[in-house]
Amino acid sequence: MLQNIRDNSQGWIAKTIIGLIVVLMALTGVDAIITGTGNSQNAADVNGEKISQNELNQAVEMQRRQLLQQLGKEFDPAMLDERLLRDASLKGLIERSLLLQGAKDSKFAFSQAALDQVIVQTPEFQVEGRFNADRFDQVIRQLGYTRMQFRQMLEQEMLIGQLRAGISGSGFVTDEEVAAFARLEKQTRDFATRTIKADPAAVKVSDDDVKAYYDAQQSQFMSPEQVVIEYVELKKDAFFSQVAVGDDEMKAAYESEIANLAEQRQAAHILIEVGGDVSDEQAKARIEEVQKRLQGGEDFAALAKEFSQDPGSASEGGDLGYAGKGVYDPAFEDALYALKQDEVSAPVRTEFGWHLIKLLGVQAPEVPSFDSLKEKLETDLKAQRVEQRFVEATKQLEDAAFESSDLAQPAQELGLKVQTSEPFGRQGGEGIAANRQVLQAAFSQEVLEDGSNSSAIELDPNTLVVIRVKEHRKPQQLELDQVSDSIRAQLTKTRASEAAKAAGEQMVAELRDGKVEGGAEWQVVEAATRNQDGVDPAVLQALFRMPKPTGEKSEFSGIALANGDFVVIRLKGVSEPEQALSDEEKAMYRRFLASRSGQEDFAAYRKLLESKADIERY
């Protein structure tokens, strides 16, 4: 056969086909290289709009911070699954991109002036109730944003919020739907229960039963795979005692610190917008009319309430609060910082329209003394040097661990101690064995099978470890006598539950056939609501799923509980409220149902956008 293939491949037809295949593979390969290179900086493409790797990394980091904040200080960051974080973050960015495109297509908009108002009125950016530029910079820097990036992100969030409100807010319900929902919600049921207890004492499990189960399920009875690791731990805090800072350095840092202090200015403005039916000339003429009235002695705040088209500040007499440089439009800011106390500017043109600006107040920064900042400056300078030393030591540790066949040499070079863990399995253990990255490294092929040292693993921002496997304990079959007690207990519980369920189902069948049971053993509950206290939630769910009894005949059902007991349920009657709903109740139910309907509409809109979109993940 091979010879036939060789002979046939020498013909001109075969050579032509092979040539075409080579050309197609070459073109495909070049295209893959070009595409791969072009998309190396992108995470996804949504209808032609790119989502960059930087955006994804930033979203992952923000989601990680939010999760750690919610889970508390005791939570180990290494327990977070990086792949799941990235998948969830990319999904969120794609959805965000689709919603922004939907908002743009629907002509939603948010003015820069309104955006300024959102920023200056955000409590997180205020100090003592006033906007503080330093506080603003500090907060957004912690979030990983520059001012421009934060404004862009905030504007996008506001647009998505408008879109969500526009769709969700349009949900409505009819009076009939409100009445039907209220009838179901307020419905009560008269019932009784009879509990058949799972009785382990009545179950006999023989040694043969235990052995038969053991023989049939031997794979369940293996000792866990475990490892014992050695590790060296590098801590950043250990370097603080090794660095010192002189007074000259602290004084230089002090001068730099106070040089960054900036005054805050309280501005008020009157805005006449340009756009739509209002031309630049018309807006300027109107602001000049307002200026003349000011010059005639009228109150600035009163005129702002009457004429200003900035919805965020007009009702406050144009007051924008205190802010530092870098918040307002450059032309606005230049005019504001040229004013004296209570002085009003000439008309100023920005991208929003024409303004009259008044300086209401100036807050000069309080300059702290060198002595009051000395301790902080020393700590900050030491932290910078420690960070540098820690980075250098980390590199040294990684290099030494890579070059060594054990941890003795890296430990000796850096003055560290080789420590040994307790045995632990793939599910982890205590201490260092609770760290997910340590677990992944310990059971990796490189460390577990090849016997290599791991790379440096970050337990937290201040601690690194390098590990190696000292002992590998593979799974072994457990003997019957080691597991017989647990098998007997499991079989006993299972059989007791099965017996209770069988007896309960037989009772339900007999009751449905008309057999009369004595009332003494039944626990009667009248007018039970959907949230009835003192009744197992599983019983309530089963109860309200039962059909309404017809005539005088009761309905019967049953449910097995988690503890193995079986509860027989007798439904005697269903009652619905006779009183008409009050206006307050109607409004409450209407708001709830409309909100739920609006949320469902918005969820459907998101799915529609996704179904129609051209999405490619790289």
Scan for tokens 């250098």, then name that residue.
392
Tell me the pLDDT band of 275, cut-offs 50, 70 and 90.
Answer: confident
Scan for tokens 């309907």, then name that residue.
597
Q: In the numeric block, which tokens belong to residue 399?
A: 């290099």
Query: Of 190, 195, 198, which is closest to residue 568 (Cα–Cα)?
Result: 195
For the chain, what's the residue count? 618
Q: Can you give the C-alpha Rg of the chain in angstroms?
A: 37
Q: Are the C-beta atoms of residues 323 and 124 closer than 8 Å to each other?
A: no
What are 362's strand-pairing partners? 265
Scan for tokens 């064995």, then name that residue.
433
- Is it the case that residue 24 has pLDDT exceeding 70? no
Helices 247-259 & 370-403 angle (0-180, nearest 10): 110
> What is the C-alpha separation between 189 and 528, in angstroms, rounded?
5
- Mean pLDDT across 450-463: 91
- Residue 260 is predicted with a pLDDT of 61
The 10 Å CB-count burial string (b at 16+, else e) for 473-503 is eeeeeeeeeebbeebbeebbeebbbebbbee
> What is the C-alpha separation between 397 and 465, in angstroms, rounded?
9
Q: What percent of the chain has pLDDT over 70?
A: 91
The 10 Å CB-count burial string (b at 16+, else e) for 284-307 is bebbeebbeebeeeeebbebbbeb
- Is it the case that residue 99 has pLDDT exceeding 50? yes
Distances (CA, A) of 539 to 48, 362, 498, 522: 53, 67, 18, 14
- Residue 22 is predicted with a pLDDT of 40
Q: What is the pTM of this model?
A: 0.51
- Dihedrals φ, ψ of 126, to 5°? -110, 150
Q: Could you tell me if residue 318 is left (phi over 0), alpha (psi between -120 and 50 degrees) or otherwise beta?
A: left
- Is it the case that residue 1 has pLDDT exceeding 60? no
- Which range of 41-45, 234-238, 302-306 scores highest in mean pLDDT? It is 302-306
What are 189's strand-pairing partners? 528, 574
Q: Are the C-beta atoms of residues 173 and 474 closer than 8 Å to each other?
A: no
Tell me the pLDDT band of 40, cut-offs 50, 70 and 90.
Answer: low
> What is the C-alpha separation between 51 and 45, in angstroms, rounded?
6
- Residue 76 is predicted with a pLDDT of 60
- Residue 518 is predicted with a pLDDT of 55
Pick from 34-48, 191-205, 225-239, 414-428: least confident: 34-48
Tell me the pLDDT band of 34, cut-offs 50, 70 and 90.
Answer: very low
The count of C-alpha atoms lying within 13 angstroms of the C-alpha of 133, restricted to the half-sphere facing its C-beta, is 17
- Mean pLDDT across 270-285: 91
- Is it the case that residue 2 has pLDDT exceeding 60? no
Query: Of 267, 293, 281, 300, which is closest to residue 353 (Cα–Cα)?
Result: 281
Mean pLDDT, rounded, of the chain: 86
The side-by-side arrangement of strands in the sheet containing 555-560 is 523-528, 188-196, 566-575, 555-560
444: three-class secondary structure by DSSP: coil
pLDDT digits (tens, 9 = 90+) for 508-563: 999 998 876 655 589 999 999 999 999 999 999 999 999 999 888 899 999 999 99
Pick from 137-146, 396-405, 462-471: least confident: 137-146
Q: Are the C-beta atoms of residues 345 and 365 closer than 8 Å to each other?
A: no
- Is it the case that residue 142 has pLDDT exceeding 80? no
Query: Of 463, 444, 436, 429, which is closest to residue 77 (Cα–Cα)?
Result: 436
- Which range of 13-27, 33-47, 484-498 scores highest in mean pLDDT? It is 484-498
- Mean pLDDT across 316-331: 87
- Residue 232 is predicted with a pLDDT of 96
- Dihedrals φ, ψ of 526, to 5°? -110, 145
> What is the C-alpha separation between 9 and 108, in angstroms, rounded?
65
> What is the C-alpha separation between 449 and 426, in angstroms, rounded?
15
- Residue 4 is predicted with a pLDDT of 38
Contacts of 441 (CB under 8 A, 6+ apart): 447, 454, 455, 457, 467
> What is the C-alpha separation between 140 and 62, in angstroms, rounded?
12
Contacts of 359 (CB under 8 A, 6+ apart): 265, 266, 267, 336, 339, 340, 341, 342, 343
The 10 Å CB-count burial string (b at 16+, else e) for 79-117 is ebeeeebbeebbeebbebbbbbbbbeeeebebbebbbbb
- Is it the case that residue 382 has pLDDT exceeding 70? yes
